[in-house]
Chain A
Amino acid sequence: MKMLRRKKPCAAGKEGEGINDLASLPMYGVCRVTGVDECAVRPRLEGLGITEGAEIVALFSAPSGDPTAYSVRGAVVALRRSDAERIRVRGSAAWE
């Protein structure tokens, strides 16, 4: 929760190692999808382009810290934390 509430960009890279699901991606952090857990929402996530190899940036979150809006293939998509946790990612450089 604390991670999500932080609105300052982070220097990923260093923190990049700790990121393995989308929910742990800090604000402004960039990551690449490595897979989506088998679950009910998986086909819907795939339809939005959240598939292996897609680049995702965390953009902003709601006043309560959840849901969070991500940039996915040029669109902005809001996901709840519980859904974001099902998306496996690999952290990379911070977006500027």
Chain B
Amino acid sequence: MGIKPGQKRDKSPAFTAALVGNPNVGKSTVFNALTGLNRHTGNWTGKTVDHAVGYMRMGKKRAALVDLPGCYQLEPTSPEEVETRDVLMSPNIDCAVIVCDASQPERSLNIALQTLSVIKNAVVCFNLADEARKKGISIDTEAVSEALGVDVILSSAAKREGLKELKRAVFRAGERGRETPAERPEIRPMWAEAERIAEKTVTRDKDAFGARQLRLDRFLTGRFTGGAVMLLLLALVFFITMVGANKPSALLERGFDRLLDIIRGALAPAPDFVTGAFAEGGLKTLFKVISVMLPPMAIFFPLFTLLEDLGLLPRIAFNLDRPFMKCGGCGKMALTCCMGLGCNAAGVVGCRIIESPRERAIAILTNSLIPCNGRFPALTLLIGLFLAAGGGFVSSLTAALWLTAFILMSLAAVLGISKLLSRTVLKGKPSSFILELPPFRKPRVGEVIIRSLLDRTLFVLGRAAAAAFPAGVLIWVLLRTGAMGHIVAFLDPIGAVMGVDGVILTAFLLGLPANELILPLALMLYGGAGSVSAVLTANGWSAFTAFQVLVLMLFHSPCMTTLLTVRKETGSIRMTLAAFLLPSALGVTLCIAANAVRQLILLI
């Protein structure tokens, strides 16, 4: 969707406007409100790494709107800023919509003045007016408008205030067409001018920072409370996911079993090969993937999005900067790891927020050590069946603690591998860590739940389901022709060294397109009827086997999508290969080591 300077866009819209502004001032919310599109917004800097194009309508008129990544200034110091400047200077952009934070007038005026030095035709939108009101800041928009020479609108996009006025002003400006300053613009910081204008136009009733916000920050980053609170929150999210997902999963499974029976009945007249490949192979795998994956995802994603909306993620990055720095990374890796919890491919793309190329490479290579949502349900399921069996409150709590422990193991692996990389192939000095901590914002609960269900859950599930059906058919064919037996037999001795079996390794190999497939594929390969635990126990699984599989689940090759993303982001085959080998080698080594220790203990 990227547009480059000099490249002509779709001709149908009346004009093209570009949305610029500081990070995390609700630019995406304004974009969504103006275009009716839905992009996910998060309460942290750097959420919008790619830019989207949407279309606005007013009556019969139609105009294009380009959403640019947030930047602090146009004097380019980061790739986003270079891109923003280039797009703004391109002749395809007719006007700029400068979205800024009404609660930070000087900073907003600085970016507005810089933008106006490049493109004169613009509208300034002071967003987050409600936050400013709460802070006791009021802006005389008419006076600002006079000082800047453009329309100035006060808005609160999340509450849909001021949007109509904004749209009208954008169309007014856009129809005037591009006006560029006479001389070649020189972009420089404009703080002095910004201060001068703010002095005349802004009144402050009380001190600029809220005492409540500060107290919360001190609590979340406190020396003793910081780590504990974050761990507890993580465990709580897991606990809710565990408790909530069990019953719906079982219900779905039963429902799908019945549905499969009906389909089998309907397909009875068809040749055996068709029924088998379609129902026993493709559909059965698809149903397994959905019933195992959907409930935990549908609970975990919204919960996580709530924390993200609240503004917790930057605080985690802040708290973890020191440990990450000591291991050769930086605190922003905590953000990319958090994104990795959702999807490793997204996490790898998110690594763009890390400026230093060396640290970015470390972050990209270690991202898949964090279990993504495709692996979560398998983790929760296996923990629930083998490590925290039983039922009720206590076992759910134990399960949540186990899961937290596994996540900590992941984090330790990220830190350890980072340290290893920065000591060996990616040597270098730590760079800087400059991160804005946004104010805590009350999450819009309803919207968050719907958005995260639609955008994330269904997206991830759709991807998994698309891979599940063909994989199921393939497995059935391999099983039927007897080829599978050879593959499993070949992998069995390797599995034995690692404390697992050939089926599990085969499932991991076949699950390369999507991690969601691994456990359902293993179940298909084992065959047999009954519950998941019955099938697995019948095939010789013990708690130790489950533990080994869990370790492998954390540390194995990232999925195909993630590998392709690494290739795209780094442009290097070597990096992609490293991203493939690093976690795989770690997982295999850990498994062999754990198995060796166990054998030793059994001998004694």
Residues of chain A touching chain B, judged by Cβ–Cβ distance below 8 Å, are 5, 7, 40-41, 43-49, 51, 53-54, 59-67, 69, 71, 73-80, 82-83
| Distance to closest chain B CB from A74 (angstroms) | 4
Q: With A and B bound together, what is the CA distance between A48 and B107 in angstroms?
A: 7
Set of chain B residues within 8 Å of A41, measured between Cβ atoms: 432, 434
Q: With A and B bound together, what is the CA distance between A61 and B315 in angstroms?
A: 11
Set of chain A residues within 8 Å of B322, measured between Cβ atoms: 62-67
A44's partner among B77, B217, B319 (CB-CB below 8 A) is B77
Given A73-B107, A74-B208, A76-B437, the answer on whether A43 and B77 have CB atoms closer than 8 Å is: yes
Set of chain B residues within 8 Å of A46, measured between Cβ atoms: 73, 75, 189, 191
B396 close to A (CB within 8 Å): no
- The reply to whether A67 and B189 form a contact with Cβ atoms under 8 Å apart is no
Residue from A7, A43, A62 having most chain B Cβ neighbours under 10 A: A62
B103 close to A (CB within 8 Å): yes
B160 close to A (CB within 8 Å): no
Set of chain B residues within 8 Å of A49, measured between Cβ atoms: 106-107, 110, 191
0/1 string, B320-331, CB within 8 A of A gives 1: 011101000001
Given A69-B318, A73-B107, the answer on whether A59 and B433 have CB atoms closer than 8 Å is: no
- The reply to whether B103 and A74 form a contact with Cβ atoms under 8 Å apart is yes
Set of chain B residues within 8 Å of A51, measured between Cβ atoms: 189, 191
Q: How many residues of B contact A (CB 8 A)?
A: 47
0/1 string, B172-201, CB within 8 A of A gives 1: 000000000000000001011001000000
| Distance to closest chain A CB from B50 (angstroms) | 21
Q: Which of B422-458 contact A (CB under 8 A)?
A: 430-439
What are 29 A-B interface contacts by the 8 Å CB criterion? Answer: A5-B223, A40-B431, A44-B434, A45-B434, A46-B189, A47-B75, A47-B81, A53-B195, A59-B217, A60-B214, A60-B217, A61-B221, A63-B222, A63-B223, A63-B226, A63-B227, A63-B322, A64-B323, A67-B318, A74-B107, A74-B135, A75-B107, A76-B217, A78-B314, A78-B321, A79-B434, A80-B432, A82-B430, A82-B432
Residues of chain B touching chain A, judged by Cβ–Cβ distance below 8 Å, are 71-73, 75, 77-78, 81, 103-107, 110, 135, 189, 191-192, 195, 208-209, 214, 217-218, 221-224, 226-227, 314, 318-319, 321-323, 325, 331, 430-439
Q: Which residue of B has the minimal Cβ distance to A57?
A: B209
- The reply to whether B107 and A60 form a contact with Cβ atoms under 8 Å apart is no
18 additional A-B residue pairs with CB within 8 Å, beyond A47-B73, A60-B218, A62-B221? A5-B223, A41-B434, A43-B77, A44-B77, A59-B217, A60-B214, A61-B221, A62-B319, A62-B321, A63-B223, A65-B223, A67-B318, A76-B437, A76-B439, A78-B314, A78-B321, A78-B435, A82-B432
| Distance to closest chain A CB from B487 (angstroms) | 49
Q: With A and B bound together, what is the CA distance between A66 and B236 in angstroms?
A: 27
Q: Which residue of B has the minimal Cβ distance to A43?
A: B77
B433's partner among A63, A71, A80 (CB-CB below 8 A) is A80
Q: With A and B bound together, what is the CA distance between A45 and B80 in angstroms?
A: 16
- The reply to whether A78 and B436 form a contact with Cβ atoms under 8 Å apart is yes
Q: Which residue of B has the minimal Cβ distance to A51?
A: B191
Given A49-B191, A78-B318, the answer on whether A67 and B223 have CB atoms closer than 8 Å is: no
A48's partner among B227, B314, B321, B434 (CB-CB below 8 A) is B434
| Distance to closest chain B CB from A42 (angstroms) | 9
Q: With A and B bound together, what is the CA distance between A60 and B225 in angstroms?
A: 13
Q: Which residue of A has the minimal Cβ distance to B189?
A: A46
